[in-house]
Structure 1
Amino acid sequence: MTLAPLDWAVLLAYLAVVLLIGFWFARRNTSTEEYFVGGRRFRGWVIGLSLVGTSISSITFLAYPADAFKTGWLRYLPNLALPLALVMAARVFLPFFRRGNMTSAYEFLELRFGPSVRVYGAVAFIVAQLVRLAMILWLLSLLILQLVEVSPTTAIIAAGLFVGLYTVVGGIDAVIWTDVLQTLVLLLGGLLCVWVVVEALPGGLGQVFREAGAAGKFALSEWRDGEPQPVRWGLSLSEKTATMMLFIGLTNWLTEYSSNQNTVQRYCASRSTREARRGLWVYLFTALPVWAFYMLLGTALWVFFQHHPDPVAEAVLAGTAKAETIVPWFITEYLPAGVAGLVVAAALAAAMSSLDSSINSVATVSIVDLYRRHLRTGLDDRHYLRSARWVATAVTVLMIVGALWLNGADTHTLQDTSTILVSLFGGGMLGLYLLGFLSRRGDARAAWWGIVATLLFTSWTVLTNEGMLPATLSAPFDLYYTGLIGNLVMFVVGYGAALYWPRRAR
């Protein structure tokens, strides 16, 4: 990718603004209350836009258009479960976290089950986030390598230090406000891409809808041999059906809005419960159109390249080139100077908004749930604030080291790492929280029975995925449903144990 001087000016200006936001808010951070939850004064629209920035990573920026370009809109289907998940979150989960003036999602686990379960939740979150941080930073470095001729090591270290710097000094204030900026840049970047495509087509946007619609590019279908194949509706654990994809989406979104620290921390940073709920609605009515818009970008690119033949586009459609290369290629070859720089800034924004949120969340959980609760209790707040900055710095270093390791690993290792992460550390967390929210039965003993059963179940699916078990012992269902079944195992086993061991008075 070769950028014009004007593109570099736009890109560097954006990065400078992000850095200035971090240092601007550094002067406010005189307490952990400010560093972790911003003094609990954020309005709903700010919280909502920051949630959009956090949830949209560079993977989304590249993968959504890529999928729509090569196939149809099936990837969008699980997102349609988001409204139901947010209604449940607003009415069930959010009031719990607001009522207790909490800072961490895992304080609830101690109140409901005891300190040991809280420690488990906190440690599982930290480990999963460290792996996620390394993966996103590595993906970000791949984009940087297309911009400048540097070594992968230099790209990873430079990007990691940049994001870590403004996050460590600025705390949650810098994270939230840079996420808002990054969301707006992401929206503008996508709009500019579609505008360039529409301007290049004689029939404009109408031509996109006519030609793509006639080819089935908007269909919620799987594609085989270049043709849409309808997805079956119904319940099944052996194949991907539309109904099951909606259940998967609902499970993922409920997990995100019941137990994910990145989300719960924003509940807690809101000015009031009303503002926190408003943030969820802002997120809903922003995120769904944004995801649809980036799917539309991929569909529009398909129409564009039907009329402007290109060898890279043909290679993607033929399966000889990765679909995720189509957006960077379009930026490189078809966007005018200045516009390309802004779109690249949007791609960087998509990654940075995920990285900064996770760094701050890991620091918060490490101090609130582990260090201040169990390791060094009763010290003054300034000590915990200094410790939080040191933890955020350490997380940045670990993120860089992990990305460097991934850079030396092959793609298969990366995919395996992702699968194992989702299975082991994400499996069952929703079931654990639902057991706490929806039932008064059971204590730590019931929770730990559910945790152990879920860990055994997910370990079994990991061994199946790695081909380490004979056919007779392998999981008899599509591993796509591991998370869904894992949450059921957690809830059913936990509730069953709660019936056997009544809850102790606390």
Structure 2
Amino acid sequence: MVTTASVTAARLSTPDLVLVAVYLAAITLFGLRFRKQDRSLKSYFLADQRIPWWAIALSIVAAETSTLTIISVPGLAYTGDWGFLQIVLGYLVGRVVVCLLFLPRYFRGELLTAYQVIGERFGARLHKVTAFLFLFLRAAAEGVRVFAVSIVVGIAIGTRDVVSIAIICALTLIYTLEGGMAAVIWTDAVQMILYVVGTLVGVAVLGKLVPGGWGHIHTAAAAAGKLTIFHFALNLTSTYTFWAGLIGGCFLTMASHGTDQLMVQRLLAAKNLRQSRIALLSSGLVILVQFVLFLAIGTGLYLFYSGVAHGSAPASADRVFPSFIVQQMPRGVAGLMVAAILAAAMSNLSAAVNSLSSSSIVDFYLQWKPDADEANRAKLSRIMTFFWALVLFVLAMMSRGGGHVVEVGLSIASVAYGALLGVFLLGTLSRSATQNGALVGMIGGFAANLLLWQQTHPIVLSLGAWHPVVPKIAWTWFVLIGSLLTFVLGWAASKLLPDTKHRITS
């Protein structure tokens, strides 16, 4: 029998730690291979649009799964069932909509960010507002991601959160500063393959540790209701229902993959529109398989800790899988899996820093100084990369708290996603929409999502004796509500606040 109590304080063995160190050094050197003498913005932020579709697909998967998925989705299955898989159905539908509605607009011209489309459609003012909202959204959500991987580092080598987060940010900067987007995508591809292999090993180890293997896990979990996927109740307060997953997941993906520079930048790095579409659609199939694997691990961990291991399981569900890796995986495999999780986090962080930097330069600096030469642009791009890495370090320190980190990250993202998606839909679907009207709609949609989000974070809007009373609506509906409200308010306001300069009449 395995005793949990006896291994609670366990850390990685010395050989495993060496393996982690070697892998991190290798992936950093690999990223540095993509350093180029050409320091143009297109080269640094879009890798000259020479990345093949399959590498972009793997990079999208790596960004979408990240450390939040690796450690938190198994925790959801550990404490609940497979209801999270309903959201993946919406992810697949949302990808189709992005391919049809947004990608053609992005490939019509020489674009570096998603928000240049808004500038072309509505004007410079709304261009800056949407870009600023992205900066706020991505920085806040990425702070949670960085903290998530500090959980793994702390369990693996025993460092405290502050040290863990500092290590992650410092190492990531090395190849992000030098390699740009090419380094981001190719390191994503390598680490994604690695952590999928590691996950399959985790599934195999669980099958050996639980008597009766996966046959028994399946039977026992089904009897306990742990394998339930679909919940058809039409309930806006329940996070994981079929309708919340299909509709809410679709709108969340439309926003994340159609309006978030983190994803759009990857899609713009493709050689052409066709390859960009293939990359996005194929990534959806890989995402589905990955979520199934992570949920299966969570179910297996539930049977392991409830029937095999003695003593108490880790206090937080987000720490269950990392603890299992360190305590139960064979020597060498544990180090490899921890290295893969760290590499996943570093790749995600590097992509976030790169996208935040690109938006800062293209959507703000170049609007102020359009005639700046390439040398100044390149120098400032590196400065902004360092600046955003520092910001994310601070935000990660502020993200420490309760709850599943994957839910916290997605709920934060959903606050701004609704307004962003609503404006993009308004500009795409309405010919009569104006810049002033879109701004009104955006403010209304963002305010509504902020009110919904403060249900679980009341300190945000608790002003004196005033505490807004908001229905307990699940975060999976935030983007749908915010985007529809933005669209409707923006359309109506456009009728009252005409702006003929940016109205499409033909």
TM-score by length of 1: 0.89
SS in 1 for 2:183: helix
Give, in angstroms, the shift of residue 433 of structure 1: 0.7
Letter in 1 for 2:130: G
Give, in angstroms, the shift of residue 160 of structure 1: 0.9
Instruction: State whether structure 2 residue 246 is matched by structure 1 residue 246.
Output: yes
Q: For residue 504 of structure 1, what is the aligned residue in structure 2?
A: 500
SS in 1 for 2:312: helix
1:352 and 1:176 map into 2 onto residues whose CA distance is: 12
Letter in 1 for 2:279: G
Q: For residue 385 of structure 1, what is the aligned residue in structure 2?
A: 378
Instruction: State whether structure 2 residue 94 is matched by structure 1 residue 95.
Output: no
**Is 197-206 or 168-177 further displaced after alignment?**
197-206
**Is 150-159 or 470-479 further displaced after alignment?**
470-479
Contact 1:198 1:205 in 2 (8 A): yes
Give, in angstroms, the shift of residue 3 of structure 1: 1.6
1:385 and 1:199 map into 2 onto residues whose CA distance is: 53
State how 1:138-153 maps to structure 2 within 5 Å: 138-153=147-162
**Is 179-188 or 124-133 further displaced after alignment?**
124-133
Give, in angstroms, the shift of residue 69 of structure 1: 1.9
2:319 and 2:73 map into 1 onto residues whose CA distance is: 12
2:144 and 2:494 map into 1 onto residues whose CA distance is: 38
Give, in angstroms, the shift of residue 328 of structure 1: 2.1
Give, in angstroms, the shift of residue 381 of structure 1: 1.6
Gaps of 5+ in 2: 1-9
SS in 1 for 2:438: helix
Q: For residue 397 of structure 1, what is the aligned residue in structure 2?
A: 390
Q: For residue 115 of structure 1, what is the aligned residue in structure 2?
A: 124
Contact 2:96 2:281 in 1 (8 A): no
Q: For residue 367 of structure 1, what is the aligned residue in structure 2?
A: 361
Instruction: State whether structure 2 residue 166 is matched by structure 1 residue 157.
Output: yes
Contact 2:452 2:473 in 1 (8 A): no
SS in 2 for 1:442: coil
Instruction: State whether structure 2 residue 312 is matched by structure 1 residue 312.
Output: yes
SS in 2 for 1:52: helix
Letter in 2 for 1:489: L
Q: For residue 237 of structure 1, what is the aligned residue in structure 2?
A: 236
Q: For residue 52 of structure 2, what is the aligned residue in structure 1?
A: 43
Q: For residue 287 of structure 1, what is the aligned residue in structure 2?
A: 287
In the superposition, relative to structure 1, how do residues 159 and 177 fare at CA in structure 2: closer, same or farther (>3 Å)?
same
RMSD, matched Cα: 2.6
Gaps of 5+ in 1: 222-230
1:388 and 1:217 map into 2 onto residues whose CA distance is: 48
In the superposition, relative to structure 1, how do residues 424 and 336 fare at CA in structure 2: closer, same or farther (>3 Å)?
closer
**Is 481-490 or 282-291 further displaced after alignment?**
481-490
Contact 1:3 1:341 in 2 (8 A): yes
Letter in 1 for 2:329: L
Contact 1:53 1:180 in 2 (8 A): yes
Instruction: State whether structure 2 residue 86 is matched by structure 1 residue 77.
Output: yes
State how 1:298-377 maps to structure 2 within 5 Å: 298-305=298-305, 307-313=307-313, 321-374=315-368, 376-377=369-370
State how 1:136-215 maps to structure 2 within 5 Å: 136-201=145-210, 203-215=212-224
Deviations 1:400-453 (A, max 9, x none): 23334456xx559x9999699446533311111111111211221111111222
Letter in 1 for 2:434: D
In the superposition, relative to structure 1, how do residues 70 and 363 fare at CA in structure 2: closer, same or farther (>3 Å)?
same
Alignment match of 1:474 (pick from 469, 478, 499): 469
Alignment match of 1:132 (pick from 119, 141, 151): 141
Instruction: State whether structure 2 residue 485 is matched by structure 1 residue 489.
Output: yes
1:300 and 1:484 map into 2 onto residues whose CA distance is: 34
Letter in 2 for 1:435: L
Give, in angstroms, the shift of residue 391 of structure 1: 0.6
1:294 and 1:423 map into 2 onto residues whose CA distance is: 23
Deviations 1:77-119 (A, max 9, x none): 1111122111111111111101123110000101111111110
In the superposition, relative to structure 1, how do residues 99 and 201 fare at CA in structure 2: closer, same or farther (>3 Å)?
same
Deviations 1:142-190 (A, max 9, x none): 3222223444433222221101121111100110011111111110110
Give, in angstroms, the shift of residue 351 of structure 1: 1.8
SS in 2 for 1:332: helix
In the superposition, relative to structure 1, how do residues 157 and 244 fare at CA in structure 2: closer, same or farther (>3 Å)?
closer
**Is 359-368 or 25-34 further displaced after alignment?**
25-34
1:282 and 1:16 map into 2 onto residues whose CA distance is: 30
SS in 2 for 1:216: coil
Contact 1:101 1:268 in 2 (8 A): no
In the superposition, relative to structure 1, how do residues 464 and 290 fare at CA in structure 2: closer, same or farther (>3 Å)?
closer
1:189 and 1:183 map into 2 onto residues whose CA distance is: 10
2:12 and 2:274 map into 1 onto residues whose CA distance is: 45
Deviations 1:26-60 (A, max 9, x none): 13543211101000011110000000111112121
Percent identity between matched residues is 28
In the superposition, relative to structure 1, how do residues 78 and 459 fare at CA in structure 2: closer, same or farther (>3 Å)?
closer
1:339 and 1:472 map into 2 onto residues whose CA distance is: 50
Instruction: State whether structure 2 residue 426 is matched by structure 1 residue 432.
Output: no
Letter in 2 for 1:242: F
Contact 1:431 1:488 in 2 (8 A): yes
2:249 and 2:88 map into 1 onto residues whose CA distance is: 6
Give, in angstroms, the shift of residue 499 of structure 1: 3.2
Contact 2:89 2:245 in 1 (8 A): no
2:296 and 2:357 map into 1 onto residues whose CA distance is: 37
Contact 1:178 1:353 in 2 (8 A): yes
Contact 1:117 1:444 in 2 (8 A): yes
Q: For residue 267 of structure 1, what is the aligned residue in structure 2?
A: 267
Contact 2:449 2:481 in 1 (8 A): no
Contact 1:441 1:503 in 2 (8 A): no
1:394 and 1:491 map into 2 onto residues whose CA distance is: 34
Letter in 1 for 2:236: L
1:419 and 1:276 map into 2 onto residues whose CA distance is: 24
Contact 1:72 1:219 in 2 (8 A): yes
Contact 1:359 1:395 in 2 (8 A): yes
In the superposition, relative to structure 1, how do residues 305 and 274 fare at CA in structure 2: closer, same or farther (>3 Å)?
same
1:472 and 1:103 map into 2 onto residues whose CA distance is: 42
